[in-house]
Structure 1
Amino acid sequence: MLRYVSWGLLSALTLLLLLLLLLLSPARAQNPFITSQFSADPSARVFNGRVYVYPSHDIPGGPGRGRADWFVMEDYHVFSSANLTDWTDHGVIITQNQVPWVQPDSYSMWAPDCVLRRGKYYFYFPTTPRDTTGGGGFRIGVAVADQPTGPFVPQPQPLAGVRGIDPNVFIDKDGQAYLYWSQGSIFGAKLKDNMLELAEPPRTLGELPTEGLKEGPFLFERRGTYYLTYPHVAHQTERLEYATSTSPLGPFRVRGVIMDESPTGCWTNHQSVLEFRNQWYLFYHHNDFSPEFDKNRSVRLDSLFFEPDGAIRKVTPTLRGVGQTAARQPIQLDRYSRLSSTDATIDFLDPANRFRGWKTVFTGPQGWVQYNAVSFGPARPRALTLRATAAAPGAAVQLRLDGPRGPVLARVAVPPGRGWQELSVPLTTTSPTGTHALFVAPAGPAPVEIDWVRFE
């Protein structure tokens, strides 16, 4: 009996320890973090200690399915993660053909949001209505569920008195809920306690820039300051800006830019801001899987920081993403921290199926790539495996720790002409522990291509 209790207690303690390690493990996301489909306009929320992201879902348009040259969206998925790395697609939660008031062939299920209120989850979404009496344009509807993943039941009619897109809901510390949306300008109003009706006429948040398109409001509170974030076309494409207030409905003071315009010309951006395990994050989108067409987008996240006076420090978008990457998981070098300006490039593994991801291509002897924050942990690895391919005899790659002058971890010969190969070699130096950068460069004739690296 004592033995049984002891082993039972030990098993319980072991399970508890594993759970604590999971909860305390650092986030280590790479961008984009949804790699199975196009996604945009991410609304990120924490429900019961887990992050849920409600994005819009871009699909390629064509005959009978929206405009080929425009945004085409017919449904919504929800994704969730306990660590910002391993994401679960919970499937479709709302589709245009299941909402009574929606024009079924409109393909306009644009940026949504979701909040938890008194045990119910309220999902807000904009789209084109069947009934255009009283004017055209978008309306905003609500669907309600008992779980963050649904099933969501849409209300029979859209919200009265609201016309526009990009709904965002904020619930203040006193329990008052607010709805924000955009239609050229940005609007806000209190919601009734049922979360399904406005409690007052909408008001224009008029302290924001008057020139250029503004849309996509997302409001959050930190230390008594209300931050209203929004995309704004100040020049040619959207950048992310913010304003602050001591009240959820303003007046607001424009403070600055959170993220500059896309360097590759993606016309839109759309954001949400989230605190998770004492770190703030910015969720946004870019057209990673569709660089030639910016109406098919993909969601990203990067860390966000505040200055001592409460100002938001400008976020530089990265491929590397956030946190640490476990050394014993495949390390996608193409989501690099730094890349040489010559003799190295990133390309799709399969141009016909871009969701398979990318590869690092060394085209000459000066090429290199650095991937920061690889966590080796306390147990020392003994070997390294990489997936690579090469064309020329004598091709090889060299892996160093912490930069171009760091200790050599391994040199891996890549036999030519055999396609993609998984090659394993023992490490040639003292096995590392802790967290380090990984520096990889060719050590022989180019080209040589790498899909991923993993330590054993």
Structure 2
Amino acid sequence: MPEDSIQHIDFEDLNRRAISRPLVSHIYTADPSAHVFNGKIYIYPSHDVDAGEAFDDLGSHFAMEDYHVISMDSITSEAVDNGVALHVNDVPWAERQMWAPDAHEKNGKYYLFFPAKDYEGIFRIGVATSDFPVGPFIPQSEPIKDSFSIDPAVFKDADGSYYMYFGGLWGGQLQRWREGKFNAAEPESPVAHLPADNEPALCAKVAKLTDDLLQFAEEPRDLIILDENGEPLLAGDNDRRFFEASWMHYYQGKYYFSYSTGDTHFVCYATADNPYGPFTYQGRILNPVVGWTSHHSICEVEGKWYLFYHDSSLSKGVTHLRSIKVAELKHDAEGKIQTIEPYG
């Protein structure tokens, strides 16, 4: 929801109409990545704080410095904050801005995948490991080799392969990697280096991970989203093109790639027959929430599907102080996802 409309919102009425309530209210949380491990729900969000940074389109006010893991015994049970799982001070290569993470499990070990800016101000993606889903997590001494940008999401396919999907525009720096290396020109402009509106949109990236889940097994490739005519979405198609917040789930023979459109505030999805694509745009999952950003995950729990997302209703519209929520997600008989209205 656009920032300039926040001041006109009746938050008492909005919270009455909201289809869900914040899962935790003692801290601000965002960007929830949800998984079921050993029959229990674990949510890996970012931890919003008010660090006093000025609001800008580079996301400087999103100055998160640690991660908490939230757990739930069932979809209706109380959400429990398990404390600090990883702090930026414990990551040798990372200086600041621990943005949206994800996690996964392999052979009884748990992996936390997270973006952070290194000491040159460049977003990289790191990995930390633990014997427990709630941590504490021990980080690798270096980020993933050749990693860049933000919003890692790790998907386990039926054959046991793990894939990472990642990338984000503007403050997420994806547009600065168009030539294969970081372009440091015009660092204060979030729209520098973007394609023209009539050019193909920048794509999320996908790469298979090595068996130990600590590195890319291949060079990341573009995840292309096609329109109804089989043509790549254009950069000026702001209501449909990828901006950030990659997620992947598998349903009845199809791979569902979902993502945020960023400055137009939708969560959309596209489908393919394989984890690399190309994907074909299908529609919207979530209409705009209060607060500038949308970021989500989709998780199956006891035979039903759920959308984990966030909004800024608890903070009365403060963009960088968000709260995670959950709502049931439904696929129709043809596999289409029914669009969710967050406020009824």
Aligning the two structures, in what range does the TM-score lie when normalised by the shorter sequence? Answer: 0.7 to 0.9
- Residue 426 of structure 1 is matched in structure 2 by none
1:181-235 Cα distance to aligned partner (Å, 9 max, x none): 01333100111101011111110112253324611100011111100000014xx
Note if 1:74 corresponds to 2:65: yes
- Residue 98 of structure 2 is matched in structure 1 by 109
- Residue 78 of structure 2 is matched in structure 1 by 86
- Residue 95 of structure 1 is matched in structure 2 by 87
Note if 1:257 corresponds to 2:284: yes
- Residue 192 of structure 1 is matched in structure 2 by 210
Give the aligned residue type for 1:148: P
Q: Residues 251, 292 of structure 1: CA spacing in aligned structure 2 closer, same or farther, 3 A cutoff?
A: closer
Percent pairwise identity: 41
- Residue 140 of structure 1 is matched in structure 2 by 125
CA shift at 1:68, angstroms? 6.5
Give the aligned residue type for 2:147: V
CA shift at 1:67, angstroms? 4.4
Does the CA contact (< 8 Å) of 2:149 and 2:168 recur in 1?
yes
2:299 to 250, 270, 274: 274
- Larger Rg computed on CA atoms: 1
Give the aligned residue type for 1:117: K
Does the CA contact (< 8 Å) of 2:128 and 2:137 recur in 1?
yes
CA shift at 1:30, angstroms? 4.6
5+ long unaligned stretches in structure 2: 1-18, 170-202, 227-232
Does the CA contact (< 8 Å) of 1:61 and 1:68 recur in 2?
no
1:298 to 298, 306, 323: 323
1:373-414 Cα distance to aligned partner (Å, 9 max, x none): xxxxxxxxxxxxxxxxxxxxxxxxxxxxxxxxxxxxxxxxxx
2:42 to 41, 44, 52: 52
- Residue 127 of structure 1 is matched in structure 2 by 116
Does the CA contact (< 8 Å) of 1:145 and 1:153 recur in 2?
yes
Does the CA contact (< 8 Å) of 1:58 and 1:72 recur in 2?
yes
**Root mean square deviation, CA, Å:** 1.6
Which is bigger in relative contact order (C-alpha 8 A, separation at least 6)? 2
Distance in 1 between the 2:341 and 2:55 partners? Answer: 31
5+ long unaligned stretches in structure 1: 1-28, 319-336, 338-456
1:203 to 221, 229, 241: 221
1:40 to 25, 30, 33: 30
- Residue 13 of structure 2 is matched in structure 1 by none
What are the within-5 Å matches in structure 2 for residues 198-347 of structure 1?
198-207=216-225, 209-211=233-235, 212=238, 214-233=243-262, 236-262=263-289, 264=290, 266-318=291-343
What SS does structure 2 have at the residue aligned with 1:201?
Answer: coil
Distance in 1 between the 2:78 and 2:65 partners? Answer: 25
Note if 1:164 corresponds to 2:146: no
- Residue 363 of structure 1 is matched in structure 2 by none
Distance in 2 between the 1:280 and 1:61 partners? Answer: 35
1:85-137 Cα distance to aligned partner (Å, 9 max, x none): 3111110001111111111xx2x11000000111110100001012x3xxx52
Alignment size in residue pairs: 277
